[in-house]
Amino acid sequence: KNQVEQSPQSLIILEGKNCTLQCNYTVSPFSNLRWYKQDTGRGPVSLTIMTFSENTKSNGRYTATLDADTKQSSLHITASQLSDSASYICVVSARNTGFQKLVFGTGTRLLVSP
Amino acid sequence: KAGVTQTPRYLIKTRGQQVTLSCSPISGHRSVSWYQQTPGQGLQFLFEYFSETQRNKGNFPGRFSGRQFSNSRSEMNVSTLELGDSALYLCASSSRLANQETQYFGPGTRLLVL
């Protein structure tokens, strides 16, 4: 069964600290993996998208890694800011064969405390 | 470019009523996907339309339906509303099929069913 599991479910860190969010998936055949940031009451915003051949991608203070062999991804946030408080959603896409669709994780809720 | 827009932003209905939500994608985007987001279930895929054709469908009952117009604008309809339909409904657009590239989400329509 195609699944995406994220950990931890929630996380509280102090402003300025780093943190790492995890995503494990069983989606097959794999096409790409995305990380989204969703502020409360708003739609998700794309942070990174990685294909099978990419193992790291950065977007400012956000760095995503992908290990396609172990089917794991992580999102590392450096020097956290209060505005990083949000839910972070991992989404895995299967190759476009028939009615494949995106598989969403349930997200990690991050709170950055002053 | 203007982003994805959704109308209305907020809606209150009663059980048994029906509702129509609207989504205007980013100019030039041909794919529109709809999602339901609830605190307990996270983001769940409803359906995807590409060039006026439904290309993908999630596991929702037939009360949930949609369509896409020639200008790529899309509507989603829910008939015979139930209390459990209370959720944030998100629309996302992309220029190719959703599982092939980054999706851009709208702000969502928050539906409350009383």
State pLDDT tens for residues B21-74: 999 999 999 999 999 999 877 889 999 999 999 988 888 999 999 999 999 999
Q: Is the bond leading into B39 cis (omega within 30 degrees of zero)?
A: no
Q: Would you give the DSSP letter of residue B85?
A: G
Per-residue confidence band for B11, with pLDDT thresholds at 50, 70 and 90: very high
Mean predicted confidence (pLDDT) in A88-100: 77
For residue A82, give the 3-state DSSP assignment.
Answer: helix
Interface of A with B (CB under 8 A): 31-32, 34, 36, 41-46, 49, 89, 93-96, 99-102, 104-107
Q: Residue A29: its pLDDT value, please?
A: 86
Q: For residue A108, what is the nearest residue in chain B, using CA coordinates?
A: B42
Contacts of residue B108 in chain A, CB cutoff 8 Å?
41-43
Give one word for B80, left, alpha or beta, with left for phi > 0 and alpha for psi -120 to 50. left
Integer Cα distance of A82 and A20 in angstroms: 16
Query: Cβ separation of A93 and B99 shorter than 8 Å?
Result: yes
Inter-chain Cβ pairs, chain A and chain B, closer than 8 A: 60
Contacts of residue B106 in chain A, CB cutoff 8 Å?
43
Per-residue confidence band for A90, with pLDDT thresholds at 50, 70 and 90: very high
Q: How many CA atoms lie within 13 A of B56 on its CB side?
A: 24
Name the residue with tokens 């708003």: A42
**Contact present, A50 and A75 (Cβ < 8 Å):** no
Mean predicted confidence (pLDDT) in B4-32: 96
Per-residue confidence band for A96, with pLDDT thresholds at 50, 70 and 90: low
